[in-house]
A and B are shown apart, each in its own frame.
Chain A
Amino acid sequence: MTATLPKKSSAPPRAGRDAPHRRRRGPSAYAVLVALAAFAGVMLIPFVVVVFNALKTPEELTSHGPLSPPDGFNLDTMRAFWERTDFGHVLLNSVLISGSVAVLAVLLSVLNAYALGIGRIKGRMWVLVLLLMANTVPQEALVYPLYYLSKQVGLYDTRLSVIIVFTVIQSAFGTYLMASVLSAFPRPLLEAARIDGAGRWQVLWRVVVPVVRPTLSVLLVFFFVWTWNEFLIPMTFLISNENQTVSVALGVLHGQKLMDTTMSSAASLLGLLPTVVFFLIFQRTLSRGLTAGAIK
Chain B
Amino acid sequence: MTAQGRGRSREQWGYVPYLLPGLLLFTAVIGVPFLMNIGTSFTEWTGVGTPKWIGLGNYRELVQDGEFWASFEHNALIILGMAVVPTLIGLVLAAALTDLIGRHFGPRTASVLRACVYLPQVLPIVIAGVVWSWLLAPEDGAVNVLLGKIGLGSLAHDWLGDPATALWSVIGVMVWIQIGFPLVIFMSGLQRVDPSLYEAAEIDGATWARRFWHITIPQIRPEIFVVLLWTTIAALKAFAHIFVLTKGGPGGATNVPAYYSWTSFFEKSEVGYGSAIATVLTLLIVALTIVFLRLQGRDLGEER
Contacts and interface: CB of A to CB of B under 8 A. Distances in A.
Interface of A: 1, 3-4, 6-7, 16-18, 22-23, 25, 29, 32-33, 36-37, 39-41, 43-47, 49-50, 65-67, 108, 111-112, 114-116, 118-122, 125, 127-138, 140-146, 148-149, 164-165, 167-169, 171, 173, 175-177, 180-181, 183-184, 200, 204, 211-212, 214-215, 217-218, 221-222, 225, 229, 231, 247, 250-251, 254, 264, 268, 271-272, 275-276, 279-280, 283, 286-287, 289-290, 293-294, 296
A125 B134 contact: no
Contacts of B195: 290, 293-294
Contacts of A23: 103-104, 202
B293 A128 contact: yes
Interface of B: 9, 12-16, 18-19, 21-23, 25-26, 28-30, 32-34, 36-37, 40, 47, 93, 96-97, 100-109, 111-128, 130-132, 134-135, 140-142, 145, 176, 179, 181, 184-185, 187-189, 191-195, 199, 202-203, 205, 207-209, 221-223, 225-226, 229-230, 233, 237, 239-240, 258, 261-262, 265-266, 271, 274-275, 278-279, 281-282, 285-286, 289-290, 293-294, 296-297, 300, 303
B126 A290 contact: no
Contacts of B142: 45, 49, 67
Contacts of B22: 108, 111-112, 131, 171, 175
Given A145-B34, A231-B240, A283-B111, 13 more contacts: A25-B104, A43-B116, A46-B135, A47-B119, A67-B140, A122-B12, A131-B22, A138-B262, A144-B271, A145-B36, A168-B25, A251-B124, A293-B191
Contacts of A200: 14-15, 18
Given A138-B282, A149-B32, A272 B19 contact: no
Contact of A136 (B101, B194, B261, B289): B289
Nearest to A289: B191
25 contacts: A23-B104, A32-B101, A33-B104, A39-B93, A40-B116, A41-B116, A46-B120, A47-B123, A49-B134, A49-B142, A66-B134, A133-B286, A141-B278, A144-B47, A145-B34, A176-B226, A181-B223, A200-B18, A231-B126, A268-B124, A275-B122, A276-B119, A283-B114, A286-B187, A287-B108
Contacts of B96: 32, 36
A109 to B, nearest CB: 8
B261 A140 contact: yes
A67 B145 contact: yes
A115 B21 CA distance: 12
A76 to B, nearest CB: 20
A22 B22 CA distance: 45
Nearest to B296: A180
Given A3-B207, A115-B19, A16 B116 contact: no
Contact of A250 (B115, B119, B126): B126
Contacts of A49: 131, 134-135, 142
Given A29-B104, A44-B116, A141 B275 contact: yes
B40 to A, nearest CB: 7
